[in-house]
Amino acid sequence: MEPIIHIVDDDRSFRTALARLVETFGFPASCYESGADFLARLPKSEGGCILLDLRMPGLSGMELQDTVAQAVPLLPIVFLTGQGTIASSVQAIKAGADDFLEKPVSSKVLRDVIERALVQNEKRRNRLSQMQTLQAKVSNLTPRETQVFDLVVRGKRNKQVAFDLNTSERTVKAHRHSIMEKLNATSLAEIVSIAERLGRIEVDTVQNPQPDSSPKANIRPR
């Protein structure tokens, strides 16, 4: 899939020039005059990255960032800033930028940044596809198996699970076996990792331990 470089800048001349430069790198470029314009014409392809002017009338780059991240989460956002101040860079990164570029942009830096962003994009896409694979596997579980899965990955023993689900320990064991097979896992650690990657558990959240919880119970249900 060919990545497309999306350029969002209110300055026509600047975005045109940038697009020309980007095209000399061999990437197709697509220009938008504002954040609203970009949101109206969301790209179908998830390959590429966004070069977003930090300061624009209407929705500013910062405000746009959240919306864009939700709409096209795979596309890395590179902010274009006019002032190379530390404050604006920190602000940009905090706001979730993957990178930022200082105007005026040199060809080499632009290329590096774009390539980095595309690598990032690649990674995200890969991760997403992995996730999608895992998700598909998990969704193959029966509802009962899912329940068992959720409890097991939180470190519950078979006996506890059986008690929680009001069933026998033996049944739980059977479910666990079926789950291991369906998820193509060989160990408990593997299943926990899958659950974590799918966001079914949070790691390291500090909460008051429940009175009845075991000392190991720092993994909590969401």
Partner 1 sequence: MLRDPGEDMPERAGSSACPRAKKNAGLVFPLICAIINLLVICWPAEANPPDGSRRVLVIYQDSSILKSAEEIGIGISRGLEKTTAGRLDLYTEYLDTPRFSRDEDFRNSAEYLGSKYGKLHIDILVPIGPEALRFALNHRDLFAPKAKVVFGDISERTYARLKPPDDFAGAITPYDIERSVDLAIGLQSEATDIIVLSGSAEFDIYWQSSAREALGEKYRNLPVAYVSGLPLAEFVSHASRLNPRSILLILTIFEDSLGQKYRPRDAVLEITRASGAPSYGLLSSYAGAGIVGGHMATYESIGTDVAKLIAKAANGDNREVVHAASGPVVDWRQMQRWAMDRAVLPEETRLLNFKPTLWEDYRWQILTVALLVLTEAMAIIALYMERRSRLSAEVQARSRLLELVHLNQSATAGALSASIAHELNQPLGAIRSNAEAAEAILMGTAPDLNLVQQILADIRDDDERAGEIIMRLRGMLKKRNAIDWQEFDLNEVVSSAINILHAEAENKQVAVRAKQSKIKLPVRADKVHLQQVILNLATNAMDAMAESATVDRKLTFRTTLHGDTKVEMSISDNGQGIPRERLDRIFEAFYTTKPNGTGLGLSIARAIVETYGGKIWADNRDDGGAVFRFVLPLAQAA
Instruction: Kindly list the residues in this chain that would bind partner 1 in the complex (CB under 8 A).
Output: 11, 13-14, 16-18, 20-21, 23-25, 55-57, 60, 82-83, 103-107, 110
To the nearest whole angstrom, how small is the minimum distance from the Cβ of residue 14 to partner 1?
A: 4
- Report the residue number, 56 or 151, with the smaller CB distance to partner 1: 56
Q: How far apart are CA 175 and CA 165, in angstroms?
A: 12
To the nearest whole angstrom, how small is the minimum distance from the Cβ of residue 13 to partner 1?
A: 4
Q: How far apart are CA 97 and CA 102, in angstroms?
A: 13
- Report the residue number, 9 or 145, with the smaller CB distance to partner 1: 9
To the nearest whole angstrom, how small is the minimum distance from the Cβ of residue 77 to partner 1?
A: 18
CB atoms within 10 A of CB 79: 26
- Report the residue number, 57 or 143, with the smaller CB distance to partner 1: 57
To the nearest whole angstrom, how small is the minimum distance from the Cβ of residue 56 to partner 1?
A: 8
Q: How far apart are CA 134 and CA 128, in angstroms?
A: 10
- Report the residue number, 21 or 52, with the smaller CB distance to partner 1: 21
As a three-state string, the secondary structure of 153-175 is HCCCCHHHHHHHCCCCHHHHHHH
What does 52-71 look like in DSSP terms, one character per residue? EES--SSS-HHHHHHHHHHH
